[in-house]
Structure 1
Amino acid sequence: MYVSQDQQKSKALTIAVTGLNANDNPGPGLAVIRALREGFRDELRIIGLAYETLEPAIYLKDQIDKTYQIPYPSAGVKALVERLNYIQENENIDVLIPNFDAELYNFIKIEKELLSVGIKTFLPSHKQLEERDKVNLKAFGDKNNFKIPADEVIFKSSDIEASAEKFGYPLLVKGKFYDAYVVQNASDAHKAFHKLHAKWGLPIIIQEFIKGTEINIAGLGDGKGNAISVIPMRKMYITEKGKAWAGITIEDEKLIALAQDFAKATNWKGGFELEIMKNDKGDLYIMEVNPRFPAWIYLTVASGQNQPKALVDLALGNPIDEFSTYKTGKMFIRYAWDNVVDVEEFQKFSAFGEL
Structure 2
Amino acid sequence: MSKLPVTIAVTGLNNSDNPGPGIPVIRSLRESRHLDVRIIGLSYENLEPGVYMDDLVDMVYAIPYPSLGHETLLARLTYIHEQESLDLIIPNFDAELFSFIKISDTLAGMGIRTLLPTQEQFDARLKGKLVEFGDRFAINVPKSLTVFNADELTDALGEFSYPVVVKGKFYEAYVAQTAEQAHGYFYKLAAKWGTPVILQQFIKGQEYNITALGDGKGRLMGAVAMRKTYITPNGKGWAGVSIDDENLLDMARKVVTQTRWGGGMELELMQEDSTGDVYLIEINPRFPAWVYLATACGQNHPDRLVRLALGQHVDPQEDYEVGKMFVRYSWDMICDLSRFQEIATTGEVAIRPMELA
Normalising by the residue count of structure 2, what TM-score does the alignment of the two structures yield? 0.95
Match of 2:299 in 1: 305
Match of 1:36 in 2: 29
Match of 1:63 in 2: 56
Change in Cα spacing, 1:293 to 1:42, as seen in structure 2 (3 Å) is closer
Pairwise CA RMSD = 1.4
User: Does residue 275 of structure 1 match 2:268?
Assistant: yes
Cα deviation for residue 79 of structure 1 reads 1.1
Match of 2:338 in 1: 344
CA contact (8 A) 2:299 2:317 kept: yes
CA deviation digits over 1:3-62, x for unaligned, max 9? xxxxxx997311100000012111100000000001158821000000111111011011
Match of 1:166 in 2: 159
CA contact (8 A) 2:4 2:35 kept: no
Match of 1:186 in 2: 179
Matches within 5 A, 1:307-346: 307-346=301-340
Look up the equivalent residue of 1:315 and give its one-letter code. A
Runs of 4+ in 1 over 6 A off after TM superposition: none
Matches within 5 A, 1:160-239: 160-239=153-232
Matches within 5 A, 1:70-109: 70-109=63-102
Cα deviation for residue 336 of structure 1 reads 0.8
Separation in 1, partners of 2:3, 2:148: 54
CA contact (8 A) 2:137 2:258 kept: yes
User: Does residue 144 of structure 1 match 2:137?
Assistant: yes
Aligned positions, number:
347
Match of 2:289 in 1: 295
Match of 1:3 in 2: none
Separation in 2, partners of 1:123, 1:51: 20
Cα deviation for residue 229 of structure 1 reads 0.3
Separation in 2, partners of 1:165, 1:176: 21
SS at match of 2:348: coil
Equivalent in 105, 115, 134 of residue 108 of structure 2: 115
Separation in 2, partners of 1:137, 1:301: 29
User: Does residue 284 of structure 1 match 2:274?
Assistant: no
SS at match of 2:270: strand
Match of 2:124 in 1: 131
CA deviation digits over 1:83-103, x for unaligned, max 9? 111111111111110000000
CA deviation digits over 1:201-260, x for unaligned, max 9? 111101110111000000001111111101000000001111100000011100110000
Match of 1:4 in 2: none
Separation in 1, partners of 2:44, 2:33: 26
SS at match of 2:313: coil
Look up the equivalent residue of 1:101 and give its one-letter code. D
Look up the equivalent residue of 2:146 and give its one-letter code. V
SS at match of 1:39: coil
Cα deviation for residue 159 of structure 1 reads 3.0
Separation in 2, partners of 1:195, 1:167: 20
Separation in 1, partners of 2:42, 2:308: 21
Separation in 1, partners of 2:300, 2:123: 27
Separation in 2, partners of 1:10, 1:43: 5
